Amino acid sequence: MVNGAQPLEPAVARSPYRPDIQGLRGIAVLLVVVYHTGSGWLSGGYVGVDVFFVISGYLITNHLLAGLTKTARIDFGQFYARRIRRILPASFVVLILTSLATLVFASPIIRRTALKDAFWTALYVPNIRFALQGRDYLAETYPSPFQHYWSVGVEEQFYLLWPLLLLLLW
């Protein structure tokens, strides 16, 4: 307080720092890195990603339930605007840079398919495209430069449906 004035309320309420959540995120990153070293110590390759999915689901569910408990509603506009501000900028920078690198470095045979993958990635459904094509993330044949987006697609699809389902269940 300065001169007896009340402190300003923050525009967005921040969740308290959670060392347990940050520790789990660190373990998830470590699991992904260990898998990608090719050491064979960790089979499956999805364990770290699964940990991220569980953490995200837990945090988002708690956030949505807090809003439902407080107001008996979900502000979908605010929820999705927050998702867009958080994910879209970095995601699209990587998407654009990867597309440009594909145009410069990939062979013409790969370019066309890769740019189709980019389109599906921009819509956050590359996992659906890869599934329809029967592509296996862990297979070493026919990799896509956008293959790493499959998990982002799954997560964003979850965020699209889960708030509505949670509201209906409420």
Number of CB atoms found within 10 A of residue 14's CB? 6
What is the value of pTM for the model shown?
A: 0.77
Is residue 167 within 8 Å of residue 68, measured between CB atoms? yes
DSSP letter assigned to residue 138 = T
Is residue 127 within 8 Å of residue 154, measured between CB atoms? yes
pLDDT at 137 over 90: no
38: left (phi over 0), alpha (psi -120 to 50) or beta: left
Q: 165: closest CA among 59, 64, 71?
A: 64
pLDDT of residue 6: 54
pLDDT at 123 over 90: yes
With tokens 């996992």, the residue in question is 127
Rounded Cα distance between 67 and 17, Å, is 19
In this prediction, residue 17 has a pLDDT band, given cuts at 50, 70 and 90, of confident
> Using one digit for the tens of pLDDT, what is the confidence trace for 60-108?
999 999 999 999 999 999 999 999 999 999 999 999 999 999 999 999 9
